[in-house]
Amino acid sequence: MAEAFQSIAARAPPVRTGGALPWLRRNLFGDWKSALATVFLIGLALLVLPPFGQWAVANAVLAPNADACQAARGSGACWGVIAEKWHVIIFGRYPFEGQWRPAIATLLMIAAVVASCIRRFWRPWLGLMWLAVLATFFILMGGGVFGLEPVRTDLWGGLPLTVMLATLSIFLAFPLAVLVALGRRSQLPAIRTVCIVYIELIRGVPLISVLFMASFMFPLFMPQGMTIDVLVRVLVGITLFAAAYMAEIVRGGLQAIPRGQLEAASTLGLGYWQTQRKIVLPQALAMVVPSMMNNFISILKDTSLVTIVSLYELTGALALALNADVEWRPFKIEAYLFITAIYFSICFAMSRYSLWVEGQLGVSRTR
């Protein structure tokens, strides 16, 4: 080619692929199967959504009026049941006059969790802040000091209980999980075996059996005369359960650390615990954050099981609120939808946060 080179400027394509209409065409009517599916699904939506909208919104009763709800039964949702019963659902059997206490305690706890998620607050005083928040929580809930009325732990319930059990068991299970994971990878056969037995035993049985064990057997484990609070029993049960699953996740992270790092550390003269603390664990834990977040979501969902051992957290409190009340019992579905919304919001927010964290960590690693 002997001609002089002539530069060609960029121009627009003959058929635009961006924009709403081409997107619709490609994604909804790409081929005949896709078009058929679109038509079918839209038809289905038109069939189902309007009646549901009627029930949920148009004919719904918002006021806590049992008669109005009965009258609208079948054709309209009774959201009034929430207006009427929400304080039992949210706070369980906690004495009505003192319900400002669990309210503040829960808000504090949630604020602390949210603060821990934001990078700006990752400072050394975060640990102290948590201790302060936990102390405040228990003082507010339990009372007995500062002129607050004492409230027995088996009266605690609803959302505060859910939040407390989840947060506390995650806190307590985490160090245990790290120790067990390290133990599982230990060179010493006795320690390794003990850890493996613990992990496989707990992971092989359902949480409900661990809770039964906590509920029925822990009192037997205590020395003569000592009683153990029902809340503590359940907390220990959930913590032991969560720690086994977390240990497996941490172990996955530990396995991914190249052996060269350990060799470099020992060459530099670092001891076992120093190596773990300064080199292995920071990397391993950062690597497994997404799986850990998934695990945290599972723990939050699992707290609903303590209903079975008679601690009335959110799900149990609902049963408490409605089973005995003949007037409002027919409207359980609306109440279930209410707490479904609560669980969903919390878990969905956590999973979105987990994706964000994954994105943040992924930036620093080359893929």
Partner 1 sequence: MPPGTATPRSGPGAALPTPPDELSARPVGRRPRRKREWSLRSRAVRGLLYQALALLAVAAVVWFLAHNTQRNMEVRGIQSGFNFLGQAAGFDIGETMIAYDPSQSYGRAIWVGVLNTLRVALLGIVLTTVLGVLVGIGRFSRNALVRGLCYGYVEMFRNVPILLQLLMWYLLFVDVLPPPQTAWNVADLFYLSKGGFSFPAPVWDRGHAWMGAGLLAGLAVGGWWRRESQRRFELTGHDRNRWAVPVAAAICLAFAGWAAGGAPRSWSVPEQLPFMVDGGISATPEFMAVLIGLVMYTAAFIAEVVRSGIQSVSHGQNEAASALGLTQRMQMRLVVLPQALRVIIPPMTNQYLNLTKNSSLAVVIGYPDVVSIANTTLNQTGRAVECIAIIMLVYLCTSLGTSALMNWYNRHAAIKER
Partner 2 sequence: MSDAIIEFTKVNKWYGDDFHVLRDVELAVGRGERIVICGPSGSGKSTLIRCINALEEYQEGRVTVDGIVLGDDVKAIEAVRRRVGMVFQQFNLFPHLTVLENLTLAPMWVGHTPKKEAEERAMQQLERVQIAEQARKFPLQLSGGQQQRVAIARALCLTPKIMLFDEPTSALDPEMIKEVLDVIIELAGQGMTMLCVTHEMGFAKAVADRVIFMDQGQIVEANTPAEFFDHPKSERTRDFLDKIIGH
Question: Which residues contact partner 2 by CB under 8 A?
Answer: 1, 4-5, 7-8, 10-19
How far apart CA 292 and CA 276 sit, in angstroms, is 19
For 238, other C-beta atoms within 10 Å of its C-beta total: 26
Per-residue binder mask for partner 1 (CB under 8 A), 277-316, x = binder: --------------------x---xx-xx-xx------x-
For 82, other C-beta atoms within 10 Å of its C-beta total: 19
Task: Check binding of 47 to partner 1 (CB under 8 A).
Answer: no
Question: Which residue is it, tokens 């609306």?
Answer: 334
Task: Check binding of 330 to partner 1 (CB under 8 A).
Answer: yes
How far apart CA 89 and CA 93 sit, in angstroms, is 9
The CB-of-26 to partner 2 minimum distance in angstroms stands at 12
The CB-of-3 to partner 2 minimum distance in angstroms stands at 9
Pick what 268 binds: partner 2, partner 1, none; C-beta below 5 to 8 Å, kind-dependent. Answer: none
The CB-of-11 to partner 2 minimum distance in angstroms stands at 6
Per rule CB under 8 A, count of chain residues that contact partner 1: 55
158 strand-pairing partners:
313
> Is there a contact between 331 and 69 (Cβ–Cβ < 8 Å)?
yes
Task: Check binding of 34 to partner 1 (CB under 8 A).
Answer: yes
Q: Which long-range contacts (CB under 8 A, 24 or more apart) does 353-357 make?
A: 353/117, 353/293, 354/289, 354/290, 354/293, 354/294, 354/297, 355/290, 357/289, 357/290, 357/293
* Residue from the set 56, 104, 110, 205 that interacts with partner 1 by CB under 8 A: 205
Pick what 95 binds: partner 1, partner 2, none; C-beta below 5 to 8 Å, kind-dependent. Answer: none
Pick what 11 binds: partner 1, partner 2, none; C-beta below 5 to 8 Å, kind-dependent. Answer: partner 2
> 288 vs 117, 208, 243, 262, 358, CA distance in Å?
16, 27, 15, 19, 9
Pick what 273 binds: partner 2, partner 1, none; C-beta below 5 to 8 Å, kind-dependent. Answer: none
Task: Check binding of 73 to partner 1 (CB under 8 A).
Answer: no
How far apart CA 355 and CA 293 sit, in angstroms, is 9
Of 89, 52, 98, nearest to 328 (Cα)?
A: 89
Task: Check binding of 356 to partner 1 (CB under 8 A).
Answer: no
The CB-of-220 to partner 1 minimum distance in angstroms stands at 5
Instruction: Give the angle 312-315-318 at the CA atoms, nearest 5°.
Output: 80
Question: Interface with partner 1 by CB under 8 A: which residues?
Answer: 26-28, 30-31, 33-34, 37-38, 41-42, 187-191, 194, 200-201, 203-209, 212-213, 216-217, 219-224, 297, 301-302, 304-305, 307-308, 315, 330, 332-333, 336, 339-340, 343-344, 347-348, 351
